[in-house]
């Protein structure tokens, strides 16, 4: 356990000081004014005197219990160590269920692309060049044991996460050159050359841990000791791998701050764990938990004939997406010699018959994905490269295909038969051009070996396990017509996570979510530095100078026009690299809930927000 008396940290490369004297600001930097919020570009949408986020109901009833159902297991209550990436308990520090135990300095408004407002920090200052940021803590903020949240806790947190935290928290702290206390409730962070324009924003989303309650020597080890945080809930019950229950802290300090009004309305929040997707859905049908986001159009149309859905006790709702499509796809592991050639990957991707799969497996409910930011103005689809894009890409000749450059590219279209000969002939032509041969019904690589690929899949990844398996088998049938041997390997979740984390696969499935403000997370997905980092999200094994430069460019953008150009350029590079077999996306969000749970009428930009919901029986 690590929630004990603190031990001293040493050996820091980051300077942390508790000097309370005023800081002299360099003459060449503009003096920023304290603000109630900051935006990645432009100004916050909400004024300084805003009373609440407009998708939350400040008069929501208080009380009752909300129960979530998730698949998997957990054995760790520390969300900031490396082990917690796969087996940390949901809810403690959670972008979907809410940060129930730990809190960030600033809170993201889900009705703006990337804007942060006061939470633990009530005010924030930032230089125009974003070389420093200063936070002013809310003096009312306290931990659940009544101890005040202090600057000393912040400095302790950053040093702890720098030494023992998992990415991205550890890597963020390494982007600082100096962190120091500037007042009783304020501290200032100065950034080094590793930082980008987004870095100060990301520090607004950093947690604050209690110095007095953490044993540094034990931090990083799995623990089931309930942590002390400043958030609205405390952990009241833990059944490892089965259930975790949170109870509202009656003395929560932040009930009346604007960013929290209308949030966290339940007396208790419980997260129940299920072994797989089928058991999870059966649990929802029986009323064992309250809300269920359906990711399978076929199930949405055919599996909701149970009595509670028929008589109205379960309500089904469809929400229109207002954010980019993201990319669901079968990911090629380019670390494998047979998949290093982008022309080969292009040929293999073209075999997938979306039209057949959509009609025969999904009732025509999907839209084919051709861009990582489809359905938004950040997408390169239908948009010829601008002068700025061309100037940037001139430094990386032949990195973008001609049809992607002029905006005419779309993912290949088949006739829907599942055996489109035109598509197969074209794929064969591309493979032969790269030295492959078809002999005796077998596709041979340039060195004369049979082309064999293993598809590593498991339940989850944005679809039900059954859907993924059916897709893999459909692809296998198409590939077999070209003599390509596909082995579909369906494994349990623990084996799947272990092999995926070690990049032990030829092809796997992944969802690359996309926001209206992509940033530093892209380095972890596609940046060269993450290619060989076991456990990173660079599943394709990409290490391309053009992609690294494009990420730098989008992070450095200061205007909307410059940012849009940068993301479109980045989109073109990812498309042209053929790192995935693009699948499809839902234009809608499918959500089912037991009617004992209610929600606000206003649906924000980033979709339904569970922490703003409430129980019908509450008062």
User: How do strand 176-183 and strand 15-17 relate by DSSP bridges?
Assistant: parallel
With a cut of 50, say whether residue 352 has pLDDT above it.
Answer: yes
Q: Which residue has the tokens 């459909």?
A: 474
Tell me which of 57-71, 287-301, 329-343, 439-453 is least confident: 287-301
Say whether 327-585 and 15-51+103-218 share the same fold.
no
The pLDDT tens digits for 486-515 are 999 998 877 888 899 999 999 999 999 999
Give the chain's radius of gyration (CA, Å).
25
Question: In whole angstroms, what is the distance from residue 578 CA to residue 316 CA?
Answer: 37
| Per-residue confidence band for 33, with pLDDT thresholds at 50, 70 and 90 | low
Q: What is the pLDDT, as a whole number, of residue 464?
A: 54
- Least confident stretch, 362-366, 396-400, 552-556, 576-580: 362-366
The percent of residues above 70 in pLDDT, for the chain, comes to 93
Q: What gap in Å lies between CA 588 and CA 590, rounded to an integer?
A: 6
Q: What is the DSSP string of 502-521?
A: TT--SEEEEEE---SS--TH
CA–CA separation, 538 vs 536, rounded Å?
6
Q: Is the pLDDT of residue 83 over 60?
A: yes
Q: What fold does the segment set 327-585 form as a domain? A: Dipeptide-binding Protein; domain 3 (3.10.105)
Q: What share of the chain is helix, strand, coil (3-state, %, to 5)?
A: 25, 20, 50
Do residues 353 and 474 lie in contact, with contact meaning Cβ atoms separated by under 8 Å?
Answer: yes
pLDDT at 4 over 70: no
- For the chain, report the end-to-end CA distance as a whole number of angstroms: 38
pLDDT of residue 13: 38
**Domain 15-51+103-218 classified CATH 3.40.190.10?**
yes
40 three-state secondary structure? coil
- 465 versus 460: the higher-pLDDT residue is 465
Q: Please choose, from the candidates 173, 181, 177, the residue with its C-alpha nearest in 3D space to the C-alpha of residue 152.
A: 181
141's tokens: 């903020």
Output the pLDDT for position 295: 85
Would you say residue 31 has pLDDT above 60? Answer: no
Please say if the pLDDT value at position 179 is more than 50.
yes
Q: Cα 273 to the chain's mean position, in Å? A: 21
Q: What pLDDT is recorded for position 362?
A: 86
What backbone torsions phi and psi does residue 617 show, to the nearest 5 degrees? Answer: -85, -5
As a whole number, mean pLDDT of residues 585-602 equals 94
Give the confidence band of 574 by pLDDT, cuts at 50, 70, 90: very high
Strands 485-490 and 106-108: unpaired
Q: Domain locations in the chain? A: 15-51+103-218, 327-585
Q: Which of 67-81, 82-96, 242-256 has the highest mean pLDDT?
A: 242-256
76-90, 403-417, 554-568: least confidently modelled range: 76-90
How does residue 20 score in pLDDT terms, banded at 50, 70 and 90? very low
pLDDT the model gives residue 365: 86
Q: What band does 541 get if pLDDT is binned at 50, 70 and 90? A: very high
Mean pLDDT of the chain: 91
pLDDT at residue 157 greater than cutoff 50:
yes
Q: Using CA atoms, how far apart are residues 270 and 91, in angstroms rounded to an integer? A: 9
- Which is more confident, 335 or 81? 335
**Does residue 153 register a pLDDT over 70?**
yes
């Amino acid at each position: 356990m690590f929630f004990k008396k603190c031990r001293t940290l040493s050996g820091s490369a980051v300077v942390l000081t508790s000097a309370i004297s005023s800081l002299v600001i360099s003459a060449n930097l503009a003096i920023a004014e304290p603000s109630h919020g900051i935006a990645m570009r432009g100004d916050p949408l909400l004024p300084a005197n805003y009373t609440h986020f407009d998708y939350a109901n400040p008069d929501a009833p208080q009380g009752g219990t909300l129960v979530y159902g998730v698949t998997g297991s957990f054995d760790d209550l520390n969300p900031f160590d490396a082990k917690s990436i796969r087996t940390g308990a949901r809810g403690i520090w959670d972008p979907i269920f809410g940060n129930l135990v730990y809190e960030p300095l600033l809170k993201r408004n889900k009705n703006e692309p990337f804007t942060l407002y006061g939470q633990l920090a009530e005010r924030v200052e930032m230089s125009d060049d974003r070389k420093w940021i200063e936070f002013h803590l809310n003096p009312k903020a306290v931990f659940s044991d009544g101890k005040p949240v202090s600057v000393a806790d912040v400095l302790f947190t950053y040093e702890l996460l720098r030494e023992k935290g998992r990415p991205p928290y550890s890597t963020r702290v390494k982007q600082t050159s100096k962190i120091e206390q500037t007042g009783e409730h304020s501290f200032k962070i100065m950034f080094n050359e590793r930082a980008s324009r987004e870095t100060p924003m990301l520090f607004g989303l950093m947690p604050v841990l209690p110095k007095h309650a953490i044993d540094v020597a034990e931090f990083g080890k799995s623990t089931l000791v309930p942590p002390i945080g400043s958030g609205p809930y405390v952990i009241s019950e833990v059944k490892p791998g089965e259930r975790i229950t949170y109870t509202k802290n009656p003395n929560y300090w932040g009930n009346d701050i604007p960013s929290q009004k209308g949030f966290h309305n339940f007396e208790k929040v419980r997260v129940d764990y299920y072994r797989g997707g089928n058991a999870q859905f059966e649990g929802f049908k029986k009323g064992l938990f309250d809300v269920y986001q359906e990711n399978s159009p076929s199930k949405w149309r055919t599996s909701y004939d149970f009595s509670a859905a028929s008589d109205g006790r379960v309500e089904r709702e469809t929400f229109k997406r207002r954010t980019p499509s993201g990319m669901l796809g079968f990911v090629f592991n380019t670390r494998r010699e047979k998949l290093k050639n982008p022309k080969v990957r292009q040929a293999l991707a073209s075999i997938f018959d979306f039209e057949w799969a959509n009609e025969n497996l999904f009732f025509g409910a999907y839209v084919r994905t051709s861009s990582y930011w489809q359905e938004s103005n950040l997408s390169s689809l239908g948009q010829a490269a601008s002068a700025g894009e061309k100037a940037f890409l001139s430094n990386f000749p032949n990195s973008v295909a001609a049809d992607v450059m002029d905006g005419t590219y779309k993912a290949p279209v088949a006739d829907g038969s599942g055996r489109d000969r035109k598509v197969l002939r074209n794929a064969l032509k591309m493979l032969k051009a790269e030295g492959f041969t078809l002999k005796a019904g077998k596709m041979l690589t340039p060195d004369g070996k049979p082309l064999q690929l293993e598809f590593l899949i498991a339940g989850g990844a944005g679809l039900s396990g059954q859907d993924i398996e059916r897709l893999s088998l459909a692809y296998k049938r198409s590939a077999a017509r070209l003599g390509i041997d596909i082995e579909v390997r369906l494994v349990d979740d623990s084996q799947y996570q272990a092999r995926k984390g070690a990049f032990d696969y030829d092809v796997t499935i992944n969802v690359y979510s996309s926001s209206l403000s992509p940033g530093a997370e892209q380095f972890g997905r596609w940046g060269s530095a993450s290619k060989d980092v076991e456990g990173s999200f660079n599943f394709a094994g990409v290490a391309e100078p053009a992609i690294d430069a494009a990420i730098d460019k989008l992070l450095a953008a200061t205007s909307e026009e410059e940012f849009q150009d940068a993301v479109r350029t980045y989109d073109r590079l990812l498309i042209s690299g053929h790192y995935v077999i693009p699948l499809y996306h839902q234009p809608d969000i499918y959500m089912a809930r037991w009617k004992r749970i209610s929600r606000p009428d206003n649906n924000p930009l980033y979709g339904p927000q569970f922490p703003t919901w409430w129980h019908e029986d509450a008062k």
